[in-house]
Chains A and B, each alone.
Chain A
Amino acid sequence: MAESRFVYVTFIRTTPAKLWKALLDPEFTRQYWVETWQDCEWKPGASWKLMIPDGRVADSGKVLEIEPERKLVLSWRNEFKPEMREDGYSRLTYELEQQGESVKLTLIHESDQPKSKLIDAVSNGWPHILASLKSLLETGESLVETRTWPKGM
């Protein structure tokens, strides 16, 4: 395989509107995405930043495609780890689709780099973050280990 890709599909008992808000809104992301929040105007071409609670920028990119409650595509480059920053821009896609009483969330994080360090790293991170997002929407509580930015990182 020439490129690197992480794929994750989960079903969440919620509505597309609530899931969309949870994916974008700082008030939500801080709860399940290790205290980070996204600085973005959420329109095509807008710049996008994932902010670490201490003010550093974790990752940055642009909104490539946005279709509220349906689809979001971002370009994504790591900013705070030189070895991952070297990988250049990756692409993140969220797709939301109502299926019965649940919403099917598909996340694809891909890079044209054959053995991308960034995709390797996010492949370990996404499952925790997304399990926590599911828990937050279904039970009102995120998973404890995803509520704070890891110390010393």
Chain B
Amino acid sequence: MGKVFKALADPGRRLLLDRLHAENGQTLGQLCGHFDMTRQAVTKHLKLLEDANLVVTLWRGREKLHYLNPVPIHEIAERWIGKFERGRLRVLAELKQQLEGENDG
């Protein structure tokens, strides 16, 4: 789990996950299109995300596609969020979102 938190600690890597969340299965080239970072920097970030199992890659034909793997984040939620808290938390999160607008800090 240490690897997961370390991977999530960087805002650039969180943005990469956001891009995959918006559209799963992108190539390196597609992902680079969203950022000012160099190709090398994006590759490095993706490697760290992959090591933490937050991103999974698949070869399809000649393309290497990147997928967001929801498992590690789900495991974090399972560990610290109780079954009965889930509904209330969702309502509060929606309220916060409505009041503040989308904000991913």
Contact = CB atoms under 8 A, between A and B. Distances in A.
Interface in B66-104: 67, 69-71, 74, 78
Q: Name A's interface SS.
A: strand
Given A108-B58, A127-B74, A5 B24 contact: yes
B18 interface: no
Interface in B14-30: 23-26
A1 B25 contact: yes
Interface of A: 1, 5, 7-11, 106, 108, 127, 131
A10 to B, nearest CB: 5
A9 B74 contact: no
Interface residues of B, number: 14
Contact of A9 (B23, B24, B26, B71): B71
A7 B71 contact: no
Q: Name B's interface SS.
A: mixed
27 contacts: A1-B23, A1-B24, A1-B25, A1-B26, A5-B24, A5-B25, A5-B58, A5-B65, A5-B67, A7-B24, A7-B56, A7-B58, A7-B67, A7-B69, A8-B71, A9-B53, A9-B56, A9-B69, A9-B71, A10-B71, A11-B53, A106-B56, A108-B58, A127-B71, A127-B74, A131-B74, A131-B78
Contacts of B24: 1, 5, 7
Nearest first, the 9 closest Cβ-Cβ pairs linking A and B are: A7-B67, A9-B56, A10-B71, A1-B25, A9-B69, A7-B56, A5-B25, A9-B53, A127-B70
Contacts of B74: 127, 131
Interface string B2-37: 000000000000000000000111100000000000
Contacts of B67: 5, 7
A127 B75 CA distance: 11
Contacts of A7: 24-25, 56, 58, 67, 69
Contacts of B70: 8, 127
A8 B71 CA distance: 7
B66 to A, nearest CB: 10
B27 to A, nearest CB: 10
Contacts of A9: 53, 56, 69, 71
A8 B25 contact: no
